[in-house]
Chain A
């Protein structure tokens, strides 16, 4: 990489950090319990808006994996989300009514909290509909993974998004509070992901899955990115560039081996396509606060009307992480 490119990335990173510092004033603490963190905690960071129904299962899922504390920004919910979170003993909540889009889709707020509380700690940054699956996650807590990553001197861990969907129309099986969403959204596309490498940021750019298959057939380059690096041993000089898809400095994006070997990686099961989705799509379209002028949501709305169902004959039914590893969606690498 040339000197100019390095300088460009450095400038970009400093700009992102400065944004995060500037926008910290938008956050008002609702319940700040970060003083009582245990030693070397594993932290989870998230931005939510009107997710009251999904939160109980989300919190339970990550508590079971071994998240010690949740740091959550509530972006103007009016369904009791904030109050619910504030009651939880292992959750700290900040609230803001500022624009989601103007805050780089919440990433400025996330980065401020990461800088403030994540330095030198393992931090998982996920949305409320993303559920991390990693090798041996049924028998080994997240701490086993982060200890191993520490010993391997790996500062970051890849987990691509895997869109999960039900068989039949989304509204046919309503989601109940506390329910495992993957009882409904049981299916996924196992082998239609296309990959290219971004030479500047050195990350892999992955697209595909049911969204590309159904909603982006005529403009595949607009299909959403599936690559994510959600788990990072944070340092206050790090920056997420675009959602959690890629990071700066670029070495954090080297979560893959380019000589034929496999590094360990996981998957973020994406519980987006439930009955709650139609309402969400309508709301997001009205707000216009999502990526690329809500082009995704518009495509869904048109697509949903047309397709009804994301399921196809070759949809794979989810069993466990070993299945995902056999299919080649994730890898144990040399963690045995």
Chain B
């Protein structure tokens, strides 16, 4: 004969007793006797309110009130008292569910009863050996059982931490009661009468209780360990959905979680916010929530809370805002996405910027850090997010400016020109940014000077200044702080074979390019530049960053080398 299981509910309450009353009534109306324990620290008037609210229901009992501070044995003692009372007063009860005053049944009670009746001998309790748990907070797993915890974690944190440290230092270890194998798990369980009686009647329970009084958070280990001694069929999972954040606090369910809770595979959810009226109204109706049962999809809830933890611990890379401001020492990468910095390319080609935009499928800006104005792509005066082209605003906080630009344009690779003629304050920032790729043709700054048509004598001082700035930048890029990806060519090296460096940078910045680049930008005719450099030398300056730039005679040699280069495949 299959006898329908009768469920009894032990409820531990401490606040929002109006909701506790509502929950107790719901259980009782569906034939489940309820034994309630109210924390001794709850005001007496509230307790009396709860009593009178439930006085019309015959199958409700109250146990003497004990103080239940978080992490102490009081919670276990209260549970033991209530369970004893339950088994004694209600002989028909075959299973006992431990719930809190904010544990909301999210499936009809008869579904839970049916579930228990289907496999009547099973104990549903999460019970994991200390070696295997990965979720405890504060790094205390096994030590919960081997150290003593006389101080309150919440109120006497310093003493708590100090005493733990002291015991570790002294190598103190408590011996465990014989036969006890420490297990941990969710404190919300559902045990059979036989198992619960087995635990309550353990021969040396007095000693066991004394031992657990000095264990930390015994409500997560007392029943979870002892059940292993008396039960033969444990299903190590809780029927109660209970999620904890990264600091060990339970997540709270609100009205807007209704849809998710309907898709949960658990029977009970902990914990529902006490003013979540929609949740309580929906689930606490006769026969429970009668919405069309959706296919369980517990992954959704898991993902929601996993994402919340990730957001709190890691955050969105590259975002600087009022509640996320990583400091450099913590290894915070600066920018939200990879970006390219190009130095010395634009002056060598007639059409470098449009070409780069096509080749990389990227947004190519001019000199963002030019002295006179921010050269946004397309010459815009205001750019995405409301960034202004005012150089004063930019230079007020160049790091924020760049971080904002890269954040605002997520999903689109950004490139900009940068050279010795620009404001240099940003240089250390991009050099140490792992998301930056810096491509530099050293000495190319002299090309615009040559093109300006001014004599070497006139531009000599300017050339020397630019060379100094650029060599400082290169020196920095070669330093140990640098995390950016760097490619440096001298001007001479570059013009010898421009195709290869260009190919390299396209591969680096756009590795998933749909089609290979076959067309290259139009290189400037540099005949005459060699003698310009010689003129500079004659004026007493030493142009070194260009490398061994060929003389005009050599450049004139094997046919015109500055025709549009093509890559042959």
Which A residues lie at the B interface, using CB under 8 A? 136, 139-141, 143-144, 147-148, 151-152, 158-160, 189-197, 204, 206, 208-210, 212-213, 216-221, 227, 255-265, 312-315, 328-336
Contact = CB atoms under 8 A, between A and B. Distances in A.
Given A265-B323, A314-B382, A331-B324, A140 B400 contact: no
A265 B312 CA distance: 12
A259 B252 CA distance: 25
B293 to A, nearest CB: 23
Contacts of B275: 141, 143-144
Contact of A334 (B246, B273, B400): B246
3 closest cross-chain pairs (CB), A and B? A191-B385, A189-B386, A334-B312
A220 B396 contact: yes
A334 B311 contact: yes
14 contacts: A147-B252, A159-B322, A191-B386, A194-B396, A195-B320, A210-B386, A213-B390, A219-B392, A258-B330, A259-B330, A263-B323, A265-B321, A314-B387, A333-B312
A260 B249 contact: no
B553 interface: no
Contact of A257 (B323, B382, B397, B401): B323
Contacts of A263: 312, 323-324
A336 B407 contact: no
A331 B397 contact: no
A206 B322 CA distance: 8
Contacts of B316: 262, 328
B315 A257 contact: yes
**Most chain B CB within a 10 A radius of its CB, from A139, A328, A330:** A328
Nearest to A159: B322
A335 B325 CA distance: 18
Contact of A256 (B322, B390, B396): B322
B255 A261 contact: no
A192 B324 contact: no
B307 interface: yes
Contacts of B388: 192, 212-213, 217
Interface string B321-354: 1111111001010000000000000000000000
A315 B307 CA distance: 30
Nearest to B410: A328
B328 to A, nearest CB: 10
B28 interface: no
A217 B393 contact: yes
B251 interface: yes
A263 B312 CA distance: 6
Contact of A336 (B307, B383, B392, B408): B307
A333 B392 contact: no
B338 to A, nearest CB: 18
Given A257-B315, A262-B316, A263-B312, A331 B386 contact: no
Contact of A265 (B245, B322, B407): B322
Interface in B44-65: none
A257 B332 CA distance: 12
A255 B307 CA distance: 20
A262 B312 contact: yes
A152 B249 contact: yes
B332 to A, nearest CB: 6
**Most chain A CB within a 10 A radius of its CB, from B255, B325, B390:** B325
B314 interface: yes
A203 to B, nearest CB: 10
Chain B residues touching A, range: 35 or more
Contacts of A216: 393
Question: For chain A, what secondary structure do more than half of its interface residues adopt (helix, strand, loop), or is it mixed?
Answer: loop
A159 B316 CA distance: 18
A262 B323 contact: yes
A190 B323 contact: no
A334 B382 CA distance: 34
Nearest to B274: A147
B41 interface: no
Contacts of B404: 191-194
A158 B323 CA distance: 7
Contact of A261 (B320, B324, B327): B324
A141 to B, nearest CB: 7
A262 B246 CA distance: 13
Interface in B399-433: 400-401, 404, 407-408
Given A213-B388, A334-B309, A260 B314 contact: yes
Nearest to B388: A213
Interface string B365-388: 000000000000000101111111
B308 interface: yes
Contacts of B254: 136, 139-140, 144
B204 interface: no
A46 B473 CA distance: 52
Interface string B234-255: 0000000000011101011011
Contact of B385 (A144, A158, A190): A190
Nearest to A158: B322
A99 to B, nearest CB: 31
Nearest to A331: B323
B304 interface: yes
**Most chain A CB within a 10 A radius of its CB, from B247, B305, B388, B401:** B388
A136 B254 CA distance: 10
Contacts of A143: 275
Contact of A264 (B304, B320, B323): B323
A218 B385 contact: no
Contacts of B393: 212-213, 216-217, 220
**Most chain B CB within a 10 A radius of its CB, from A217, A264, A332:** A217
A314 B383 contact: yes
Nearest to B254: A140
Contact of A140 (B249, B255, B320, B392): B255
